[in-house]
Amino acid sequence: MKKKIIVTILGSTGSIGETLLETINLNHNKFKIILLTTNKNYKKVFKQAKTFNVKNIIIKDEKSYLKAKSYKKYRKYNIFNDFFCFKKIFKIKADYTMSAISGIEGLIPTIEIIKYTKKIAIANKESIICGWFLIKKELQKYNVNFIPVDSEHFSMWFGLKNLKIDYVKKIYLTASGGPFLRLNRKKLNQIKISDALNHPNWKMGKKISIDSATMMNKVFEIIEAKKIFNIPYTKLSILIHPNSYIHAIIVFKNGMIKIIAHETSMTIPIMNSLDENMMLNLTSPLKSSQLSLKNLNNLNMKQINPVQFPLIKILNKLPHNDTLLDTVIVAANDELVNLYLKGKINFTDIDKFLLRFLRNKNISKFKSIKSNSIKQINYLNKYVRLNINKNIYR
């Protein structure tokens, strides 16, 4: 009998984790999942554990953890409350780990699990933006294969296979423009939260949906691309592409151009990161394997408008070297999105407050301070969030 692929999922109850489980279910006999994690959604994680016969569960939120531990029906599972328990779980290395815990909170578990896996797929933007220097160090130390799972970065990774970055003249990442691409900016103060969450192409979590509507998500993706592929910002750019069919365009110095396209489904990068041969073995080919002439004939690409999407101006302020400014931007934006989702600020306040905050002398100094530890990143994350609230409510 062929050995099963051992899988672990950090953040199994989020949209990426759920998509991965749906993907595994297409050929479930090939995989064995040994760990699932959640923050608060213990009911969903135990439902997943039952479906896929998983014995190890991490529930990060203490109240949710204690509540889960109190139920007799969950006592057959090994339930943990933090990410320093991996030594108890892993008797051998996992073949594949998905890191999909959202926010800076995903950085520690991502770094901690690298030594226990042969391959890691990372869908956590904040971990890469704030802690790539730490992640990269661990990947090299333990000889772990890394694959980015964002559709844009996966497309870059796929298009650059076996090629030197020196061959590249320019890389374009595409942005749909979100739900307000054609809406006059003056009307954005009148929009409802439900409108901002209603992405025209993708089904995503609340935070990333708002980031897509403000274009902050694309700013993050440019920063990620620079770090992952060690490519200067001058070689990276954004194009508006409402259909989201093209995900990356790679222009080479020899005049050749690669255009990487796939349907608006995270199943494709996830499935290929999990097992590149899986697509070939499916009994019913995915719809996404078909060429869409309709999309190809309506690419409708154009330059991004900084008046409509002011947050892209941040890209002009970024230093080439990795600094703590990356953490400042992530933490400030995260807190502003939280305030918006709670109804405490308007939609246009997100970019207005963020751009103003980054001009503050006490904050702009982090542009010249190099990141050096998780402790430093976590401290700055808390410091920035407190300052955002002070600036808004003073």
Domain-wise residue ranges, the chain = 5-148, 150-265+279-312, 319-394
* Contacts with 143 (C-beta within 8 Å, 6 or more apart), sequence order: none
Q: Which of 125-134, 273-282, 385-394 has the highest mean pLDDT?
A: 125-134
The region of weakest confidence among 235-244, 283-292, 368-377 is: 283-292
Are 20 and 96 contacting, i.e. CB atoms less than 8 angstroms apart?
A: no
Flag whether pLDDT at 280 surpasses 60: no
Q: Band of the pLDDT at 278, cuts 50, 70, 90? A: low
Residue-level pLDDT at 317:
86
CATH number of 319-394: 1.10.1740.10
Classified as helix, coil or strand, 137 is helix
Q: Band of the pLDDT at 295, cuts 50, 70, 90? A: confident
Flag whether pLDDT at 137 surpasses 90: yes
Residue-level pLDDT at 65:
95
Are 268 and 254 contacting, i.e. CB atoms less than 8 angstroms apart?
A: no
What does the block give as tokens for 98? 């998905």
* Contacts with 129 (C-beta within 8 Å, 6 or more apart), sequence order: 220, 223, 224, 227, 326, 327, 329, 330
What does the block give as tokens for 47? 């439902």
Residue-level pLDDT at 337:
96
Q: Band of the pLDDT at 226, cuts 50, 70, 90? A: very high
Q: Which residues pair with 237 in a beta bridge?
A: 172
CATH number of 5-148: 3.40.50.720
Percent above pLDDT 90 for the chain? 75
Give the residue among 373, 322, 265, 360 at the shortest CA–CA distance from 22.
Answer: 265
292 vs 60, more confident: 60
Residue-level pLDDT at 202:
77
What does the block give as tokens for 78? 């090994």
Residue-level pLDDT at 284:
45
CA 166 from centre of chain: 26
Flag whether pLDDT at 283 surpasses 60: no
HSE-up of 76 (CA within 13 Å, CB side)?
Answer: 6
Backbone phi, psi, residue 303, to 5°: -65, 150
Residue-level pLDDT at 26:
85
The region of weakest confidence among 48-52, 53-57, 62-66, 202-206 is: 202-206
Are 221 and 150 contacting, i.e. CB atoms less than 8 angstroms apart?
A: yes
Flag whether pLDDT at 282 surpasses 70: no
pLDDT digits (tens, 9 = 90+) for 196-206: 898 888 778 88
